[in-house]
Structure 1
């Protein structure tokens, strides 16, 4: 098993970090399933592809639909990916797995960039608040 994480460590993760972990777990399982199909271990491939669909379901369940159309679009993407995983599983088709991997890698990469940008914004806002508090203190003296 790759990248095991304890329950305690998981509870310390932000929702954004958990999403990144779910993407990573999907990609790991897809690569394992692809290897298993190539080795004709169809039972284990089936198990891994079912786990990918479980992970995609968790990603969809974690969407905040108050975010508007973007949440609906992510839901549609996750449903599309789940359908492709089912097709890959039924047909034992590694090309369909490759398609899902390519899309998930793009999502995961974009998610990582968004998380980095969010950290930068949060740091900037924290610095701005400290500066503002300092300026208010100077002005009141």
Structure 2
């Protein structure tokens, strides 16, 4: 994950920021698991707290007007947050790996959705441009 300045973050779309949060959460969770394996309890705790903060931010960014998917994501985020706390208290790697797997699946799905939206958006702009061009009359010199 590259270091991002505040200015660069402000230039990102909400969709890109969500993807960035998933990426950061995955990285912190992987590092926390490695810390537990190396019996670095304090560092693991700090990283897991960061992951919990990321999940909280993801939940806060949900648009409930989007329908059922927002409610389902909210439930999933709550489950992940609870599992993180349990995994942190017990230093239980399998619980944390489950959260990691869920977060990786969400990140993959989010990236796919963003890429689909970009392609769809480009097609729509192309259609709009073609529609515009059909109605443009070229005036030649001398008319």
In the TM superposition, residue 129 of structure 1 has moved relative to its aligned partner by 0.6
Q: Which residue does the alignment assign to 1:120?
A: 119
Q: Which residue does the alignment assign to 2:136?
A: 137
CA distance in 2, matches of 1:59, 1:3: 20
Q: Give the 5 Å matches for 1:1-141.
A: 2-138=1-137
More helix by share: 1
Please report the RMSD computed on the Cα atoms of aligned residues, expressed in angstroms: 0.9
CA distance in 1, matches of 2:41, 2:24: 20
Please state whether the residue corresponding to 2:2 is helix, strand or coil. Answer: coil
In the TM superposition, residue 3 of structure 1 has moved relative to its aligned partner by 2.5
Q: State the TM-score, normalized to the length of structure 2.
A: 0.93
Please state whether the residue corresponding to 2:136 is helix, strand or coil. Answer: helix
Runs of 5+ consecutive residues of structure 1 not aligned to the other structure:
none
Q: State the TM-score, normalized to the length of structure 1.
A: 0.94
**Comparing 73-82 and 2-11, the one that deviates more:** 2-11
CA distance in 1, matches of 2:126, 2:57: 35
CA distance in 2, matches of 1:5, 1:84: 29
CA distance in 1, matches of 2:124, 2:135: 16
CA distance in 2, matches of 1:3, 1:78: 25
Q: Which has the larger radius of gyration?
A: 2
Pairs aligned (count): 137
Give deviations 1:48-83, integer Å, cap 9, x for gaps.
Answer: 001100000000000111111111111111111111
